[in-house]
A and B are shown apart, each in its own frame.
Chain A
Amino acid sequence: AQKVTQAQTEISVVEKEDVTLDCVYETRDTTYYLFWYKQPPSGELVFLIRRNSFDEQNEISGRYSWNFQKSTSSFNFTITASQVVDSAVYFCALSEDTGNQFYFGTGTSLTVIP
């Protein structure tokens, strides 16, 4: 079974619209860590956020915000007032407390249309 599921393969929005990227994870550990990475067309992977399982506080960073809900095993990412530069593939990832593995979702490709 997939540890991290990003059900949205591709999303297109018009500039200035808000968009939410979904991430659902699966783990039996009580301690775990969740991440979001951005991969722009240039190909590099850019770290966006890290959140541990004990910190359910939502986070806002400029136009970016993250909603962590343990009850639904979700860690969703919202971009407010999207811009063309937000066009990229976004990956959600999980690291569990047991074992030394790092699981990525399959990514959501976001296209912001000017």
Chain B
Amino acid sequence: NAGVTQTPKFRVLKTGQSMTLLCAQDMNHEYMYWYRQDPGMGLRLIHYSVGEGTTAKGEVPDGYNVSRLKKQNFLLGLESAAPSQTSVYFCASSYATGVIHETQYFGPGTRLLVL
């Protein structure tokens, strides 16, 4: 099992460019999440999904969109990148038990630099 994988590992964008981060999991988890990690801020939840075709906003959703067309994939999109979106992005997944209490398994992270 690969667990949770993220593509790409590192990316540099110019302000205003768009990009999509891909998260894939092979554990048949229902729930998937996108976080960003900034120095001194810990991890903050951007968006999450409780199943295929469903998404919801987390703590810091502005400037991001997500899609969950397939159960195993969760895409995070930046339509018009801003320097404030320079961060390390983590994807996670977990089993479904009705609410998000189960242990989350994390991907290796994607470092994004917006110039």
> Interface of A with B (CB < 8 Å)?
4, 9, 33, 35, 37, 43-45, 47, 50, 52, 91, 93, 95, 97, 100-107
Contact = CB atoms under 8 A, between A and B. Distances in A.
A47 B42 contact: no
B40 A102 contact: no
Nearest to B38: A106
Contacts of B56: 100
A75 to B, nearest CB: 15
A92 B112 CA distance: 24
B35 to A, nearest CB: 8
A44 B59 contact: no
8 contacts: A45-B92, A52-B101, A95-B99, A100-B99, A102-B33, A102-B100, A106-B40, A107-B42
Interface size of B as a range: 20 to 34
B103 A35 contact: yes
A11 B88 CA distance: 23
Query: Which 4 residue pairs are nearest across A and B when measured between Cβ atoms?
Result: A45-B106, A104-B42, A104-B43, A106-B42
Most chain A CB within a 10 A radius of its CB, from B33, B42, B59, B88: B42
B65 interface: no
A106 B106 contact: no
B66 to A, nearest CB: 14
